[in-house]
């Protein structure tokens, strides 16, 4: 019996760009790993190691200069409907209300929004805790609430794969923790394959099934680390000895010498 292909597969992927001086710059080199269906995978690495490039390759926004990226066994050659993206900033349109921002992808793609799509958008706003804010403008929302709108928008077309590029990095510490637990709740209720880019070790360990630790540029996979912390996870998870052991191990892989947790 043939094995079901993973949701995402990187096969010896490399990516080079042309620098300002005309010389090639290697962003990624020799990346090979898989993401299982409905797995939550976090990617950690130093600034400039190609984490966002990795996300853009899956999204089909750029093509690899070496190797191949696959979604459900098929090469990625262009943007696909299986993908939803949540960016660092939600980039909401100020002239639309919250409901209009959630449904904007359908308006942009088809020139209209159906009643069924509006109903689904309201359902998703309820899922992210914003049922009472559908008629509000973006400038009436906090940063965390705006990012919830961005998550609802990414889920509107029910993608199989959700790509998240440091979605909580602009939030204060308390809002960031709140959004992490909110994302866990949403992922539990509506399972998706998630690739989550982050610089924060605690955030990665709280959310993920596995963590990919990358090297500095050109980005290579330094280690893929399972996160054997029981689900559902809570504030108590952050105090578990295993959590601190994993964080200490990752710091030791990211930096030249281990740093105490």
Q: What is the mean pLDDT of each run of 10 residues along the chain (261 residues)?
A: 80 89 86 95 88 92 94 91 87 92 83 86 91 93 91 90 90 86 91 94 95 91 94 92 94 66 43
Contact partners, residue 19, CB within 8 Å, separation at least 6? 25
Which ranges in the chain are annotated with CATH 3.40.50.300?
A: 1-82+160-261
- The reply to whether CATH 1.10.3720.10 applies to domain 1-82+160-261 is no
Alpha helix ranges (H) inside 22-170: 51-59, 98-110, 115-127, 143-155
pLDDT of residue 203: 94
pLDDT of residue 254: 84
First to last CA, the chain: 45
Question: If phi over 0 gives left and psi between -120 and 50 gives alpha, with beta otherwise, what is residue 166?
Answer: left
pLDDT of residue 2: 52
pLDDT of residue 141: 92
* b/e map 10-34, b = 16+ CB within 10 Å: beebbbbeeeeeeeeebbbbebebe
Q: Say how far apart CA 48 and CA 194 lie, in whole Å.
A: 21
pLDDT of residue 178: 87
């Amino acid at each position: 019996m043939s094995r079901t292909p993973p949701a995402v597969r990187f096969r010896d992927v490399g990516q080079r760009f042309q620098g300002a001086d005309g010389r090639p710059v290697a962003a990624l080199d020799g990346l090979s790993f898989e993401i299982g269906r409905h797995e939550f995978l976090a990617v950690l690495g130093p600034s400039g190691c190609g984490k966002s490039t990795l996300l853009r390759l899956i999204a089909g926004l750029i093509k690899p200069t070496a190797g191949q990226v696959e979604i459900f066994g098929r090469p990625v050659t262009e943007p696909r409907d299986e993908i939803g993206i949540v960016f660092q900033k939600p980039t909401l349109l100020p002239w639309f209300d919250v409901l209009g921002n959630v449904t904007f992808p359908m308006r942009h793609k088809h020139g209209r929004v159906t009643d069924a799509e509006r109903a689904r958008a309201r359902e998703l706003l309820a899922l992210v805790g914003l049922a009472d804010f559908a008629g509000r403008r973006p400038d009436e929302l906090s940063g965390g609430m705006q990012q919830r709108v961005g998550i609802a928008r990414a889920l509107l077309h029910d993608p199989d794969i959700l790509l998240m590029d440091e979605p909580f990095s602009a939030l204060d510490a308390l809002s960031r923790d709140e959004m992490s637990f909110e994302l866990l709740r949403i992922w539990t209720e509506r399972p998706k394959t998630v690739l989550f880019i982050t610089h924060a070790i605690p955030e990665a360990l709280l959310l993920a099934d596995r963590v990919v630790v990358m090297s500095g540029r050109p980005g290579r996979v330094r280690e893929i680390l399972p996160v054997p912390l029981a689900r559902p996870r809570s504030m108590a998870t952050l105090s578990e000895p295993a959590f601190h052991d994993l964080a200490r191990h990752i710091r030791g892989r990211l930096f030249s010498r281990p740093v105490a947790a």
